[in-house]
Structure formats: C-alpha cells, structure tokens
Amino acid sequence: MNRDILAVIQENMNTFSKGQKRIANYILESYDKAAFMTASRLGKRVNVSESTVVRFAAELGYDGYPSMQKSLQKMIRNRLTSVQRIEVANDRIGDQNVLDMVLQSDIEKIRLTLEDIDRDSFDKATDAIVAARRIYIIGVRSSAAIATFLGFYFNLLFDNVAMITANTPSEVFESLLRVGEGDVVIGISFPRYSSRAVQAMNFARDRGATTIAITDSDASPLAVSSKYTLKARSDMASFVDSLVAPLSLVNALLVEVSRKKNEDLSKTFQTLEQIWEEYGVYQKAQDDQV
C-alpha cells in the first residue's frame, strides 16, 4: 500500500465496526505512539481484542498487523517533531533499562542492515568512487558527523575530495558549481531528512554526476535522485538519531575503497607516517617508570 495510511483510515471510517472505529480514532489521534505498539498492546489501549486489531489491519488491505505497523512507522519517520520523539521513546522504553534497550536496538539495526544491503550497489558505488574525477560529500545536522568521518579518511586516500559544509542552499549550489560527468556526489541523510542534502543531490544528478545516497530506505528523498542507494537502518532514541548502523556501513565503504586502491595505499601511509613522526602528531607511548 503506497497511500498515506491515515488518509485511508479517514476515508473508510464509516465502514468500520464499533471496535475498529476505536482503533482508527486512536491511530488518527496518536499515530506516533500506535506505530510502535504490538497488536496486543494497541488492543488493550482501546479496549478491544488483539484479533480485532489484526482484522482491522486486514480491512485496510494489509497482509497482517506487522505490515500495517511498518507502514505507520515509515509514514511518521519524517513527521515527528523532537518533542514527539521524546514522548515515543519514553513510551517504548517504559520500565526497561535504557542502556540495555538502546544497545540492543543498535545491534539489531546493524543486523538488519547486513540483511538488507544491496551488495551490487555497494560494489558499483565503490568502483565509481575510486574512478571519480572529483568526490563531493554532503551531510548536515546529525549526519554531518558521518560525513566528516568519511571525509577525513577519504582525504587520506584521495587528493580530489570536497566536503560541502555550506549553511544556505545558495552556498550548496556554489560549492557544486563545477560538478558534472565523471564526478561522484555522496549524500548522507536520515530522518528527519535534510532539505539541503536533497537539493544538493538533485542538483548533482541534473548535471550528470554519479550520485550515491547513504540513507535509511528506498522511500528516502535522497534515494529518488541517486544512482546507487546504500541503505542502513537508523532509529530514534528519544530526540537522538541512532547512527550506529550507518557508521558501520561507512566503515565497510572505506575498507572496500582502500582495498581497490591498495597499490597506492602503502605508499600514501608511509609518507603520512613520516609526517606524523616529524611533527609529533601522535603522542608517543612512554616507557613504564620503575
């Protein structure tokens, strides 16, 4: 089902049974909370049976409650304000230990990312990066941390990397002024998606550059304008974006790119080690004092 689930519920309200209307009204009023409830918990919240909730999902055209829940979660990812995210997170955590829940959730996101990653797109994206005339990287707001990490290591591997750190849309376009065929633009964004990152990717695509999106799903606005989409699961832990899986994906990208540049890599790092030694970049280990 591609239509907004809330619109479908509103259009079919008159056809629902009394119990189904209670479910429908709760979802319309509190979709941010309903999206993360089990069928049993949702039923208890509106005082209907779990089977009524399952039948309600089927009535909407879903093949089961998990499909309806997934549709709800996908819909809200770019809608929730920071305040709503805090409320949802508090509701999900309940009496659970925060440390255990957050770390287990991050482990699960890495597992799901490994299962879902398009390996062909991954391979072709790394080939395009290695062959690029120029590499542009854009990631703003919380995604800026991942973009900076990627840019730091790419600058050790390549001499043609440009980080786009512009603060306004006009500065983004100015940074991409000469982008074109033979260039690669890597856009990084997760819900709530950055409009600047989306604009940059559209601009680069229209000028013939190879666009690579690092984002959470095919429904992401970055994926629409990208030749290759590398998907990593993200999640919201309160108002904080969980970017553990995206960072793990970037690690894999760096390792694969370095392998494909292996003949140049040793020479590059030999030179870097000499520089680091000469200018004392790293603290030397001190001999143990007796």
* Mean pLDDT estimate for the chain: 84
Total Cβ atoms within 10 A of residue 29: 10
Amino acid at site 210: T
Name residue 150's beta-bridge partners. none
Query: Which residue has 């009496």 as its token pair?
Result: 95
Identify whether 31 is part of a domain: yes
φ/ψ of residue 119, rounded to 5: -70, -30
Same domain, 18 and 155: no
Identify whether 236 is part of a domain: yes
* Owning domain of residue 46: 5-76
Identify whether 86 is part of a domain: no
Q: What is the pLDDT of residue 3?
A: 60
Q: Is the pLDDT of residue 96 over 90?
A: no
The beta-strand segments (E) located in the chain are 135-138, 161-164, 184-188, 210-215, 228-231, 235-237, 240-242
Same domain, 159 and 231: yes
Distance CA 1, CA 8 (A): 10
Instruction: Give CA separation, 111 vs 114, 118, 134, in Å.
Output: 5, 14, 33
Q: What is the pLDDT of residue 30?
A: 81
Q: Is the pLDDT of residue 290 over 60?
A: no
pLDDT tens column, 63-72: 899 988 888 8
Q: Which two tokens stand for residue 44?
A: 């208890």
Per the structure, the count of domains in the chain is 2
pLDDT band at residue 149 under the 50/70/90 scheme: very high
Residue (of 170, 168, 138) closest to 151 by Cα position:
138
Residues 147/163, Cβ–Cβ less than 8 Å: yes
Q: What is the pLDDT of residue 37?
A: 85
**β-pairing verdict for 135-138 and 184-188:** parallel
Residue that is last in its domain, among 54, 76, 98: 76
Residue that is last in its domain, among 56, 76, 96: 76
Q: What is the pLDDT of residue 123?
A: 96
Same domain, 49 and 125: no
Residue (of 223, 228, 180, 220) closest to 203 by Cα position:
180
Q: Is the pLDDT of residue 22 over 90?
A: yes
Name residue 138's beta-bridge partners. 164, 187
Same domain, 119 and 203: yes
Residue that is last in its domain, among 53, 76, 99: 76
Q: What is the pLDDT of residue 276?
A: 73
Q: What is the pLDDT of residue 242?
A: 77
Same domain, 45 and 115: no
Q: What is the CATH number of the domain that holds 169?
A: 3.40.50.10490
pLDDT tens column, 45-88: 999 999 999 999 998 989 899 988 888 877 766 566 655 556 65
Question: Which whole number is the average pLDDT over 246-269?
Answer: 84
Distance CA 32, CA 15 (A): 24
Identify whether 265 is part of a domain: yes
pLDDT tens column, 186-241: 999 987 788 888 989 999 999 999 999 999 888 788 988 899 999 998 865 555 67
Instruction: Give CA separation, 51 vs 64, 65, 73, 171, in Å.
Output: 11, 10, 21, 54
pLDDT tens column, 116-125: 899 999 999 9
Range of lowest pLDDT (64-78, 130-144, 206-220, 247-261): 64-78
Q: Which two tokens stand for residue 200?
A: 């940059």
Q: Is 166 helix (H, G, I), strand (E, B) or coil?
A: coil
Residues 197/188, Cβ–Cβ less than 8 Å: yes
Identify whether 27 is part of a domain: yes
Identify whether 96 is part of a domain: no
Same domain, 117 and 231: yes
Identify whether 104 is part of a domain: no
Distance CA 24, CA 68 (A): 12
The residue among 153 and 173 whose pLDDT is bigger is 153
The residue among 283 and 153 whose pLDDT is bigger is 153
Q: What is the pLDDT of residue 285?
A: 66
pLDDT band at residue 95 under the 50/70/90 scheme: low
The residue among 263 and 62 whose pLDDT is bigger is 62
Same domain, 177 and 38: no
Identify whether 95 is part of a domain: no
Same domain, 54 and 114: no
Same domain, 67 and 150: no
Same domain, 249 and 116: yes
Question: Which whole number is the average pLDDT over 234-250?
Answer: 77
pLDDT tens column, 166-192: 667 788 888 888 999 999 999 999 877
Same domain, 155 and 246: yes
Q: What is the CATH number of the domain that holds 18?
A: 1.10.10.10
- Tabulate helix, strand, coil % of the chain (nearest 5): 60, 10, 30
Same domain, 166 and 232: yes
Q: What is the pLDDT of residue 92?
A: 59
Q: What is the pLDDT of residue 1?
A: 47
